[in-house]
Amino acid sequence: MLIDPSIIGSTSESKIFEIEKGAIRTFAEAIGDDNLLYKDEAFAKECGHRSIVAPPTFPTTIRVANPKVKFDPSRVLHGQQEYIYERSIVAGDVLRCFSTVVDVLEKEGNTGKMTFLVQEIRGEDLAGNLVYRAKSTLIIR
Amino acid at 35: N
- How do residues 109-123 score in pLDDT, each as one tens digit? 888 899 999 999 999
**C-alpha span between 116 and 2 (Å, rounded):** 9
Q: What's this model's pTM, rounded to 2 decimal places?
A: 0.90
Over range 7-36, report the average pLDDT.
Answer: 97
How far CA 71 is from CA of 10, 46, 74, 95, 109, in Å, comes to 16, 46, 9, 27, 19
CATH number of the 5-18+61-140 domain: 3.10.129.10
* pLDDT digits 0-9 by tens, 29-68: 999 999 999 999 999 999 999 999 999 999 999 999 999 9
Q: Is 11 exposed, middle or buried (0-12, 13-18, 19+ CB in 10 A)?
A: middle
Pinpoint the alpha helices (H) of 41-119.
41-46
Q: What is the pLDDT of residue 54?
A: 98
Q: Kindly report the backbone phi and psi dihedral angles of residue 68, in degrees, each rounded to the nearest multiple of 5, phi listed first.
A: -80, -15
In this predicted structure, what is the pLDDT of residue 1?
Answer: 75
**Average pLDDT of the chain?**
96
